[in-house]
Amino acid sequence: MKVSILNGRLVDPASGLDLAAGAASALHVADGRVVAIGDAPAGFAPDRTIDAAGCVVAPGLLDLAARLREPGYEYKATLESEMQAAIAGGITGLACPPDTDPTLDEPGLVEMLKYRARGIEGTRLFPVGSLTTGLKGEVITEMAELAEAGCVGFSQAMAPITDTQVLMRAMQYARTYGFTVWLHPQDPYLARGGVAHAGPYASRLGLPGVPVIAETVALNTIFDLVRVTGCRVHLCRLSSAAGLELVRRARAEGLPVSCDVAAHHIHLIDLDIGFFDANCRVDPPFRSQRDRDAIRAALADGTIDAICSDHTPVDDDAKQLPFGEAEPGVTGLELLLPLTLKWANEAGVPLATALAKISSGPAAVLGVPEATGRLEVGGPADLCVFDPREAWTVSRATLLSQGAHTPYVGRELEGRVRMTLVGGRVAWERTAGARSA
């Protein structure tokens, strides 16, 4: 299919391209790839012409953490519902952690997941394999075989490895094959039993806290092991000013580390828990205003490579409980773009810089050819067309994710996807308040 997208503002953070609406910003697609920017190739006759007036045309968004709940947790969400939510959010590629049931620790399970995803024809799926069998932190998986099956990295998801010798061996194995290990830096003993940021507010509410030192102790251990093994590590969902400062020092030292932060952590703090709002029960917890401000500064100065949705659909039964008993997790796929734009608007950050955190930044972490996170002639036509000024109110009716729990229900956000193309195919389109796929 041949498509021309006209009259939009073309923004590609990877190349620095930022073209105002006009003839130069026209983009032409054929056979799943971008064939021209500006003038169409000679003889090019589009099957469809899209008017993107008032919209931004950008690379499809990439998300480094989205739980699709299959296999094993279909009562919380399904592959179909969450992949529809992803493309409705402009996401053309996402990484899913291995904490499914069974966990992604065998090649057959990974192949089955990718087969299911291909049948749905939504966003591109990049599984992250289990670092240890069953995520038990005891036996290292056959990473080479899992990589052949399609895994882009290896992780424990939120499960700890308490035996640091196992972690070191796993990192040595990964280093041998050039794999990236994705780690959630949180010491399990220091965080044990905690449900909120350890601070004055949690004390007043009588909630057990997760101290910042749980993150910094884990980071120091990881960095020591990186120095010994040389393994490339991606740090998932950093939450504290102290943790980010350690990352800066590690990078200055030359350690091969990257990191991301969840979109909701850019905006919310421990006070947003309010009167025990279970929609604010997340892991890691929302921290202090100082930590939130440090996250914003680290995004702007490049310390943080990517913003992810940390999408975790939770069913009503697990969420409608007292705060400390509620399951952590919120929906985020459809909020990734507007929450990133909200940060950019509030912080005075250029649009291209903000979009880099959800396109070229995560693409560099994923390191796979299908996830380029950029617009270039000859590259995959994975595109997101969005109206940066369209205001909408978040509600269960506006979200496609089966897990509609988020602190943003009832709030108005700016920035909404009009159209998503995956491999040159219009996978999602929203017109005049209606929606279709």
Beta bridge pairs of residue 421: 383, 426
Q: Which of 183, 209, 208, 187 is nearest to 197 (CA)?
A: 209
Dihedral angle sign, alpha carbons of residues 63, 65, 71, 75: negative
Query: How far lies 202's CA from each of 73, 197, 276, 381, in Å?
Result: 31, 7, 10, 47
Centre a 10 Å sphere on the Cβ of residue 30 and count the other Cβ atoms it contains: 20
Cβ burial of 47 (10 Å; 0-12, 13-18, 19+) is exposed
* Helix intervals (H) in 348-431: 351-356, 360-366
Token code pair at residue 115:
């087969």
> For the chain, how are helix, strand and coil distributed in percent, rounded to 5?
35, 25, 40
Residues 6 or more apart from 190 whose CB is under 8 A from it?
210, 211, 213, 214, 217
Token code pair at residue 126:
């990049």
DSSP label at 286? P
Integer Cα distance of 14 and 56 in angstroms: 15
310 classed as catalytic: yes
Residues 6 or more apart from 320 whose CB is under 8 A from it?
278, 326
Q: Which of 416, 304, 409, 407 is nearest to 354 (CA)?
A: 304
**What 3-state class would DSSP assign to 36?**
strand
Annotated catalytic residue within 12, 99, 270, 310: 310
Integer Cα distance of 324 and 287 in angstroms: 16
Kindly report the backbone phi and psi dihedral angles of residue 97, in degrees, each rounded to the nearest multiple of 5, phi listed first: -65, 165
DSSP label at 134? G
Dihedral angle sign, alpha carbons of residues 387, 67, 407, 13: negative
Integer Cα distance of 101 and 66 in angstroms: 15
Q: Which of 101, 215, 211, 96 is nearest to 157 (CA)?
A: 96
140 and 175 Cβ atoms separated by less than 8 Å: no
Q: Which residues are catalytic?
A: 310
